[in-house]
Structure 1
Amino acid sequence: MIRALYTAASGMSAQQANLDTVANNLANSATTGFRQRRLQFQDMIYQNLITPGSPQSQNTVSAGLQIGLGTRTAASEVIMTQGDFNQTSNPLDLAIQGAGFFQVQQPDGTIAYTRDGSFHQNNQGALMTANGDLLLPNVTIPSNATAVTISQYGVVSGTIPGQTNAAQLGTMQLATFVNPGGLSSIGSNLFQPTQSSGNAITDLPGGTSGMGTLQQGYLENSNVDVVGEFVQMILAQRAYESNSKVVHVADDMYSQINGMIR
């Protein structure tokens, strides 16, 4: 019974982490460029009362006798499916049709990556995120530029007074990773590379590296499936209740044994 208590407790702890993940996904269902997470579980070590394949009397035991000791959370996988596009008509809003990421420079100089293409201008006209992280490579739009366009290949153009033709103001780059699911979320819609994700591969939008293309005037919605998350929430709740019931039953059996000893 003591073993059952700890085994059921491990299941309750795992489902609590599962519910925490579901809650975070639902909380960010309206966050631009958000990537939902899915929790993965593993069974824990087994107690071998009879090892499978060991000799027992004159016969070899084929199945053996093993008792599991519960479950644990193994990984929190980032789901990198494309989110739906939302038209904003803002010329500085960009969505990536493909697997690429925008590159931004954080205040400490490190480079982070994001799918959130809602850009703004600082007092110098440089494009930056809502948190003030500069877009890399730097793209600066003069204050007197009008009719700013960003092509699907990342070319930024605008009309400058006194010039008859549109002037090219800069070119954007995107980044991809061999294993984008291995990126580390650091908040503020940003990711950082890890050993699991590999180093960033940079290229122009629409190139041969599979970056994808840009869509001006659009933002990518979160890829969270709200209905699916509600289903996962119900399943987590039922699994938690089941493990809780095991705790009560094991406690009752243990109480009965204590009563017999008395």
Structure 2
Amino acid sequence: MITSLWTASTGLNAQQVQIDIIANNLANVSTNGFKQARGIFADLLYQTVRQPGAQSSQTTQIPDGLQIGVGTVPVSTGRIFTQGSLQQTGNSLDMAIDGAGFFQVLLPDGTNAYTRDGSFQKDNQGQVVTASGYPLQPAIIIPQNALTVTVATDGVVSVTLPNAAAPVQIGTIQVATFINNGGLQSLGDNLYQETASSGTATLNAPGSNGAGMVVQSYVEASNVNVAQELVLMIQTQRAYELNAKVVSTSDQMLARLTQL
């Protein structure tokens, strides 16, 4: 009975973690560039009462063993980096990546971070920055007298200046890709940071080497599927209730034993 109490308690903990992940997904359903997460779980060690293939006599073997599991444990939260829908904004500084990759931005400590949120703005120096003020890398500085800003799908940024006969190229946006997106560490603020698991970032021209293309005046919406999350939430709730029922039943059986 003690084993079943412990096993059910690990199930309760696992389902609570799953609910927490679902809640975060739903909370970010309107967050630009957000990627939904999924809980990944593993079974715990087994109590082996009888080994598979053990001798039942001198000439026969037991085909199946007797192993009793003791529960489950959360091992990771896996990000699902599927493409979110592209939503038109009409803002010339908004950009979305159609395909794989991330925008690279510079953090205050001098390190780089990566984001799918392309809702960019200008700071007081004309530099293109995120909504939180982190500069896009490589830096793009828009002249104060620029009349229009154009971003081509290959990342080339051009501006129209007064009395200029043709648009002037002021920089090129690059797209960072990783060998293992799942190894990126979430920092919050729509940012990711590379780790040993993700591998180092490779900067590419948009549309080359498997990197996505840049789409101007669009942002990428969250890839959270609300209906899917609600179904998973119901399944998780039922699993939690079943594990709670096991705890209650085991407690009743232990109480009955103490009365014997």
- Using the alignment, how far apart are the partners of 1:64 and 1:167 within structure 2? 74
Which residue of the partner structure matches residue 199 of structure 2? Answer: 198
- Using the alignment, how far apart are the partners of 2:66 and 2:171 within structure 1? 68
**Structure 1, residues 40-87: CA drift from partner, whole Å, max 9, x if none?**
111110001111122234332221111100011122111010000111
Which residue of the partner structure matches residue 106 of structure 1? Answer: 107
Which residue of the partner structure matches residue 18 of structure 1? Answer: 18
RMSD: 0.9
- Using the alignment, how far apart are the partners of 1:56 and 1:46 within structure 2? 21
Which residue of the partner structure matches residue 140 of structure 1? Answer: 141
Which residue of the partner structure matches residue 249 of structure 2? Answer: 249
Secondary structure, aligned partner of 2:259: helix
Moved over 4 A (4+): none
- Using the alignment, how far apart are the partners of 1:93 and 1:201 within structure 2? 23
Residue pairs, 1:92-241, within 5 angstroms? 92-207=93-208, 209-241=209-241
- Using the alignment, how far apart are the partners of 1:65 and 1:215 within structure 2? 58
Q: What letter is aligned with 1:202?
A: L
- Using the alignment, how far apart are the partners of 2:128 and 2:66 within structure 1? 64
Offset of residue 100 of structure 1? 1.4
- Using the alignment, how far apart are the partners of 1:212 and 1:252 within structure 2? 58
In percent, how many aligned pairs have the same letter?
51
Q: What letter is aligned with 1:4?
A: S
- Using the alignment, how far apart are the partners of 1:163 and 1:202 within structure 2? 32
- Using the alignment, how far apart are the partners of 2:183 and 2:108 within structure 1? 24
TM-score (norm. length: structure 1): 0.97
- Using the alignment, how far apart are the partners of 1:93 and 1:64 within structure 2? 60
Offset of residue 165 of structure 1? 1.2
Secondary structure, aligned partner of 1:56: coil
- Using the alignment, how far apart are the partners of 1:3 and 1:169 within structure 2? 67
- Using the alignment, how far apart are the partners of 1:127 and 1:214 within structure 2? 15
Structure 2: 5+ residue stretches without partners: none
- Using the alignment, how far apart are the partners of 1:54 and 1:111 within structure 2? 57
TM-score (norm. length: structure 2): 0.98
**Structure 1, residues 12-38: CA drift from partner, whole Å, max 9, x if none?**
000000000000000001000000001
Q: What letter is aligned with 2:34?
A: F
Which residue of the partner structure matches residue 45 of structure 1? Answer: 45
Q: What letter is aligned with 1:132?
A: G
Q: What letter is aligned with 1:212?
A: G
- Using the alignment, how far apart are the partners of 1:226 and 1:53 within structure 2? 48
- Using the alignment, how far apart are the partners of 1:192 and 1:7 within structure 2? 36
Secondary structure, aligned partner of 1:42: strand
Offset of residue 201 of structure 1? 1.1
Count of paired positions: 259
- Using the alignment, how far apart are the partners of 1:256 and 1:179 within structure 2? 53
